[in-house]
Amino acid sequence: MRGYAPASPDNKYPHRYLTMPTFKAPVRDINFVLNDVLNVGQLAEFERYADATPDIVEGVVDEAAKLIENQIAPLNQAGDTVGAQFKDGHVEMVDGFKEAFQAYAENGWMGLSADPEYGGQGLPFVLSKAVEDMLCAGNVAFALYPGLTQGCYEGLEANASDEIKATYLEKLANGEWAGTMCMTEPQAGSDVGAVKTKAEPQDDGSYLLNGGKIFISSGQHEMTPNIVHFVLARLPDSPPGVKGLTTFVVPRKLVNADGSVGDDNGVSCVSIEEKMGLHGSCTCTMQYDNARGWMVGKPNQGIQSMFVMMNKARIMVGMQGLGQCELATQTAIRYAQDRVQGKPLTGGDDVPIIAHPDVRRMLLTMKAITEGARVMAYETSLYEDISVASPDEAQREAASDWVELGTPLTKAFCTDAAVELGSLAIQVYGGHGYIKEHGVEQILRDSKILCLYEGTNGIQAMDLVRRKIKMKGGALPQRFFDKVEAELETYAGDAPEVADALRTALAALKDGTAWLQQQLKDDPDAAGAGAVPYQRAFALTWLGMNWLRMAAKAKVLPDDAFKQGKLATAKFFAAAILPEVGSLCSSIQRNASLTMDLPAEAFLAA
């Protein structure tokens, strides 16, 4: 991606004022969140993460940023304009993608948090997500290739036999082979229980799979000599619905006894989708014709096996949204700093548009959402590490509860925000934002799918309301309420304006939570109708807590510009955005039941 080009001196070509923006990894902010706000160094106290000292963490972030900025982000424009191509039964990648994938793998980024037993580096999950944040900002289409490989690794590590792990995990962890997860079928989108792909048992313990899958990211490409598919299918004697699903590992090419790549398996890509965005990512329609596979986990427990991977995949998609938020925000800020147009309201000569109040409102909104969401996404990932590494059972349970709560919030809020901020970035650019050559409209096109796959954001909201706020008698939201109150007690004096707004938001969220918990018993449709606004209200309250902590931590920093940016943005968030919580929770209680009143046939009545 090219850098900004100044306006021509004679203004001969004003429509060429700027070209494509250059991505710069937000290393300073990432290190601030990890070290100052979340104290990621606490993980080094656990034996599993003894090497994850602050120096190591900062070194990893710095090195990843260099590779992403220099080799991967520059491919983003070609990925969008050229895209993956399906020719003669094969997927052709964008020039440079294969080399970038190999560089990413060879430098250990694929297996950053993978088990050292299988060739990984064994570093914290949260650190791998920080790298993913940068990767998804630099080139989100490219990020799907390592992302799906990591997802496949996670699914096999959690559920597969030792023999299957020995065959596949190291190859996935080091990026020698790529991976996918294959769930969706034409008749089975969100309703995975409708999956029809069949798996017939064979005398040698393997299975022959027959059927088709759609919307399979990274389903076929030539960047690696083999692709490992984690497939949801149905045994001949399985019961109907989700209770009859089983998972299988199905390699594109069979694996020889010595671990080398063997003959073709019956796995093929028959087409790729032409999409609104993410053109550099191949989204494949896959066909399994007597494809040989091996069962992962127990029969008819595939949905449990798949959800181990899907929960982490939802955090991954949240990181994709966060990355696009970052790209939209920094792109809009740099444009606004350079674009000279219009006189200030106070009079005088033309000024950069960042001087205009409404442009500042948009930029501060983008900055407040992006930086606040980064803390939420990283904190959810940090709790994932604590849930597996802490020697204390009570601490593991509490951390697991936080992951349960934070996963739908991270996935839904960060991806909704990517669309919102992508639109705001176009608005900052004005007409130039609508023109393809400037690249900013790509953010909006790339981001929309993030709200849809791995469970739509409406499904995330239903998960939050129907499951998470009821679990353990409401213990999950109560943990959050207690945490916010504890942070208020600790930091209120450092940022009183933020603290006051947060107290008001917390009270409204508590009230909204209690109302929904009751409606789940009295009027489930009303609870369902209020789920999405409640999810936003919950996430914004979490962001309010984040801005309280960031303001307190920033006050003692020696970097005046960074400190000033944090403190001003915290006050803006508290005054301009956090009050949404009260209105959202109020409207849920007033209007949710009205959603079901209109008969379906009356929606298009003449």
| pLDDT at residue 591, rounded to an integer | 82
Nearest C-alpha neighbor of 540 from the set 565, 506, 512, 572? 506
Nearest C-alpha neighbor of 452 from the set 504, 416, 427, 488? 416
Backbone region of residue 39 per phi and psi (left: phi > 0; alpha: psi in -120 to 50; beta: other values): left
| pLDDT at residue 605, rounded to an integer | 77
| pLDDT at residue 437, rounded to an integer | 86
Q: Considering the chain, what is the average pLDDT of its residues? A: 94
| pLDDT at residue 186, rounded to an integer | 87
| pLDDT at residue 212, rounded to an integer | 95
φ, ψ dihedrals at 562, nearest 5° = -65, -45
Least confident of 6-15, 105-114, 387-396, 514-523: 6-15
Amino acid identity, residue 264?
D
> Would you give the distance in Å from CA 599 to the centre of its chain?
36
Quote the CA–CA distance of 537 and 29 in Å, as a whole number.
Answer: 25
Q: pLDDT tens across 535-554, in order?
A: 999 999 999 999 999 999 99
| pLDDT at residue 14, rounded to an integer | 43
φ, ψ dihedrals at 43, nearest 5° = -65, -25
Least confident of 180-194, 203-217, 226-240, 446-460: 180-194
Q: Where are the beta strands (DSSP E) in 218-323?
A: 227-234, 245-251, 253-255, 261-264, 267-272, 283-296
| pLDDT at residue 5, rounded to an integer | 37
Instruction: Give yes or no for residue 3 having a pLDDT over 50.
Output: no
Question: Counting every residue, how long is the chain?
Answer: 606
For a pLDDT cut of 70, what percent of the chain falls above it? 95
| pLDDT at residue 71, rounded to an integer | 97
**Which residues, 6 or more positions from 192, have their beta carbon under 8 angstroms from its beta carbon?**
183, 232, 242, 245, 303, 306
User: For 251-278, what is the mean pLDDT?
Assistant: 96
Instruction: Give yes or no for residue 62 having a pLDDT over 50.
Output: yes
Amino acid identity, residue 244?
G
Give the model's confidence band at 2: pLDDT under 50 very low, under 70 low, under 90 confident, else very high: very low
Tell me the catalytic residues.
454
| pLDDT at residue 189, rounded to an integer | 55
Q: pLDDT tens across 334-383, in order?
A: 999 999 999 988 988 999 999 999 999 999 999 999 999 999 999 999 99
**Which residues, 6 or more positions from 66, have their beta carbon under 8 angstroms from its beta carbon?**
none
Go through 313-323 and write b for each residue having 16 or more CB atoms within 10 A of its CB, e for each that does not. bbbbbbbbbbb
User: Which one-letter DSSP state was computed for residue 352?
Assistant: B
| pLDDT at residue 304, rounded to an integer | 83
Quote the CA–CA distance of 105 and 92 in Å, as a whole number.
Answer: 20
Q: pLDDT tens across 34-61, in order?
A: 999 999 999 999 999 999 999 999 999 9
C-alpha Rg value of the chain to the nearest Å:
24
